[in-house]
Amino acid sequence: MTNPTPTHPHEGLKPLPQILSNPHFEAIGGEASITQLVDRFYFYMDTLPEVAGIRAMHEPDLNHTKLVLVKFLIEWLGGPKVYSVERGHPRLRQKHMNFSIGEAERDAWMLCMRRAMEDVVSDVTLRQQLEQAFMKTADFIVNHKESKHT
């Protein structure tokens, strides 16, 4: 018996065995460094005038948002499954559909993440790898051709 052709590009993929971990979690320095990265990310979101549009998409108090991003990044970078156990599949695009996200918002988000990585991730190669991965994810979340925040 053959399996039907998956309708979604990732539908037929099975997770890797737990023994094969994503080296980025360890390379970045684990949970402590991810927490520091998220703190710096939101520091820049709070202080850079050019990202005020995406800051306005968030609640005034970022504590819960920071915690969610830390848990997501821990798992996304290959650490323990702390996000999906609590919140299920990330469904990033679906969870961001209530926001108008164009290239300007993507670029503002990436500016904050690049600055945060410059502060926290000393390994240039790792930083470049993470930037590429973040950019792919940020591109995936874009849901409008035109920005409301330009």
Structure confidence by residue, pLDDT tens digits, 52-80: 998 998 899 999 999 999 999 999 899 99
18 inside domain: no
How big is the CA angle at 67 (ends 62 and 68), to the nearest 5 degrees?
Answer: 100
**What pLDDT is attached to residue 14?**
46
1 inside domain: no
Domain span at residue 53? 24-141
Report the C-alpha gap between 102 and 123 in whole angstroms.
30
Q: Residue 72 sits in a domain of what CATH number?
A: 1.10.490.10
4 inside domain: no
Q: How many domains does the chain have?
A: 1
**From 7-16, 22-31, 77-86, 89-98, the region with the lowest mean pLDDT:** 7-16
Structure confidence by residue, pLDDT tens digits, 100-139: 778 899 999 999 999 999 999 999 999 999 999 999 988 8
pLDDT tier at 43 (50, 70, 90 boundaries)?
Answer: very high
Q: What is the pTM of this model?
A: 0.78
pLDDT at 3 over 60: no
19 inside domain: no
Could you tell me if 90 and 136 are in contact, meaning their C-beta atoms sit under 8 angstroms apart? no
pLDDT tier at 30 (50, 70, 90 boundaries)?
Answer: very high
pLDDT at 28 over 50: yes
Check residues 5 and 139 and name the one with the higher pLDDT. 139
115 inside domain: yes
98 three-state secondary structure: coil
47 inside domain: yes
150 inside domain: no
127 inside domain: yes
